[in-house]
Every structure is written in C-alpha cells, then in structure tokens.
C-alpha cells in the first residue's frame, strides 16, 4: 500500500505564515533605516560634488560664483547649468534621491539650491565676500526645486525653503567645500546665520 506524501495541515500553514509575517515586521524597520542612511550618504556625496563644482567655476571666473538666476527661466542659464561642466554634466547629481521629481515645480530638474543670499543677487558674488566660508551655505536642499535655498522666514515671497528631507534636517555644503547634515532648527536660528555672507 503506497504511503501518502507528507502535507502541511491548515494549522501548520497558518503557523508558518505567522512566523514569516512576524519576521517581516521585525526586519522592515531595520531595512528602512539602513536604506535611509544609504540615501543620506548619497545625498551628501552629491551635495559635496555640487559645492566643488561651484568652487571650480569660481576659480575659472575671477573667484566669482555664477549668477543664481538670469531671468531666462528655471532651467536656462541658472547657476546649475553653469556648473554642470564641472560635475560631469550630470543633472541627477543636483536632485536628492529622497526627493520625488513629481514634487518639483515647473520644469525644474533639481532640488539643490544655491544660498539665496548669493543666488538672489543680480550680480555674481566674490567668494572672498564670505567672511566665514566654513560656516556659510554654498548650496542646500529646498522643498520645491527652486534655484535657491533660503531660510523659512527670509525676505523672499516665493520661497525655496531649506527643507527637512532627512529626519528633521537636510544636507548642505559650505563655501569651503565641506558638507554635512544640518537640522532645520540650526539652519534657521541666529538670524539665519548659516545663510548670511557677512556675519559678525
């Protein structure tokens, strides 16, 4: 007489499914945190490339930054287009991997904005005008794809606010070339200290 093959009973199957569901519930937060950390590293690396591109542009242009905006549209002759040759012509370097393209305004392709106190000037800025380059934003993340990044309580009516894409903060690169995570609290305190070029 042939033996019946072993088979799961309904109870055994439910137990296995329950164990799998429990393991997934335990692992999902850890996987999510690891992914978030990885995206922060990518974003910071990109931000530093952009700051380096800005400095390289300045070295070739009498130590002056590119103009933030020239009135020709968001994707035509802004500071971003002017530094593209210095970052390998890679537009994707200007977009945080956490930021969704569908959230960008207009035809913008990036959410890294130049410091508004540089970018809103109709003239180019000499890097030497920054009295504390290691404490002054060159570029940082904004919330809508504007060509600048600015403090939430700044003087502009149509803002590209510094925005917490990374756990209550965002990545920023400074005029001396270094980059780091900055909390929104730090970014906006002390009369926008990190944005201003000529600080006491």
Q: Dump pLDDT digits (tens) for 92-138.
A: 999 999 888 777 877 788 999 999 888 876 677 888 888 888 999 99
Among 121, 178, 177, residue whose Cα is nearest residue 147: 121
Edge-to-edge strands, sheet with 148-149: 148-149, 112-115, 137-141, 169-174, 179-183
User: Residue 108: what pLDDT?
Assistant: 85
Q: How far apart (Å, rounded) are the C-alpha atoms in residues 29 and 12?
A: 27
How far CA 119 is from CA of 25, 71, 182, in Å, comes to 46, 12, 20
At 7, the pLDDT band (50, 70, 90 cuts) reads low
Q: Any residues with CB less than 8 A from the CB of 72 and at least 6 apart, and which? A: 78
Q: Dump pLDDT digits (tens) for 137-189.
A: 999 999 888 888 988 877 877 778 898 889 889 999 998 888 999 998 888 87
Confidence (pTM): 0.78
Residue 86 backbone phi and psi in degrees, to 5 = -90, -5
Among 160, 141, 137, 139, residue whose Cα is nearest residue 150: 160
H/E stretch holding 190: helix 184-192
**CA 20 to chain centroid:** 36
> Which has the minimum average pLDDT: 87-91, 129-133, 136-140, 195-199?
195-199
User: Residue 33: what pLDDT?
Assistant: 55
């Amino acid at each position: 007489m042939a033996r019946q093959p072993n088979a799961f009973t309904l109870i055994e199957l439910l137990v296995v499914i329950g164990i799998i569901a429990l393991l997934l519930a335990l692992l999902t937060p850890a996987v999510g945190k690891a992914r978030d950390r990885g995206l922060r590293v990518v974003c910071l690396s990109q931000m530093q490339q952009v700051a380096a591109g800005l400095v390289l542009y300045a070295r070739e242009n009498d130590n002056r930054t590119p103009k933030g905006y020239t009135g020709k549209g968001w994707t035509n002759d802004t500071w971003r287009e002017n530094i593209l040759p210095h970052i390998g012509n890679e537009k994707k370097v200007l977009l945080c991997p956490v930021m969704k393209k569908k959230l960008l305004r207009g035809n913008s392709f990036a959410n890294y904005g130049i410091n508004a106190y540089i970018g809103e000037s109709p003239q180019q800025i000499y890097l030497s005008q920054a009295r504390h380059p290691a404490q002054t934003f060159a570029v940082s993340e904004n919330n809508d794809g504007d060509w600048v990044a600015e403090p939430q309580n700044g003087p502009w009516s149509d803002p590209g606010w510094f925005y917490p894409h990374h756990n209550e903060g965002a990545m920023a690169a400074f005029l001396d070339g270094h980059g780091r995570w900055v909390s929104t609290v730090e970014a906006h305190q002390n009369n926008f200290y990190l944005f201003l070029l000529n600080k006491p």
